[in-house]
Amino acid sequence: MPRPHPSGPRNRLLAALTAEDFARLGPHLEPVTLEIRQILVSADRPITHAVFFEEGLASLIADTGEGRVEVGLVGYEGMIGVPLLLGTDRTPHTGMVQAEGTALRIEAAALSAALEASARLRRVLGRYVQSLIVQVGQTVYANADQTIEGRLARWILMTQDRLCRDELPLTHEFMATMLGVRRPGVTTALHILEGAGLVRARRGRVTVLDREGLTECAGGGYGPAEAEYERLIGEG
């Protein structure tokens, strides 16, 4: 997943906008620092801001009767607050920061006004909605059809894509949430990936050693959503 040009916005959605559409948002974009475990969107509560990531990572989390499960992952390629693009101000999912970083946020009313004013802006951000739908669909497929280690390999690859480094801040708690399993399941899956020489796990850190091997392990769970994003945003 390539970085935008350093002279432009670091968020890929903002970088994909025309100069005119970026100018609609620019005066309303506020730089913010993202802290780990910070809640950006609370389930079933009004969304006050959309957050365009520059660095860092956030999870879209579903709270179930059996605990929390990650259904989506967002980094510098995307934004938190997608329901605002669809004309609603809330969602049953929580948006929580999983790796600290920086972002640009905009008040919901200002974003809505810009969307009303520009069909081109609606099209670009609407294509991101489509790519996120595909990502969530791939999560459903992976959870239904793949082994725990295959699912973990997929999330590690997705995390590396968004943080752009080999050493990743992945705790057992975070990985359990990603996979919707208990911590012993995470431990077993990590041991399998380590035994295959794909990663090295230390306390609170996972280092990618063999990205190609992880991709093979992830099977069809990894790739389609990433290709769809590039088709819609990278080439759009």
Q: So what's the pLDDT on residue 204? A: 85
Per-residue confidence (pLDDT) for residue 96, from 0 to 100: 93
pLDDT of residue 236: 54
Segments of the chain with pLDDT less than 70 = 1-8, 65-67, 235-236
CB 198 within 8 A of CB 153: yes
Residue 6 confidence (pLDDT): 46
96 Cβ contact partners less than 8 Å away, ≥ 6 residues apart: 37, 38, 39, 40, 58, 59, 61
- DSSP for residue 83: G
Report how far residue 222's alpha carbon sits from residue 75's, in angstroms, rounded to the nearest whole number.
16
Please name the residues in contact with 81: beta carbons below 8 A apart, sequence gap of 6 or more. 40, 41, 47, 49, 50, 51, 95, 108, 111
All domains of the chain in start order, with CATH: 12-118 (2.60.120.10), 143-225 (1.10.10.10)
Residue 154 near residue 218, CB atoms below 8 Å: yes
Secondary structure tally for the chain: helices H, strands E: 9, 9
User: How many Cα atoms sit within 13 Å of 119 on the Cβ side?
Assistant: 0
The whole-angstrom separation of Cα 58 and Cα 148 is 21
Q: How buried is 234 (Cβ within 10 angstroms: 0-12 exposed, 13-18 middle, 19+ buried)?
A: middle
Per-residue pLDDT tens for 46-58?
Answer: 999 999 999 999 9
Q: Quick one: tokens of 148? A: 């725990």
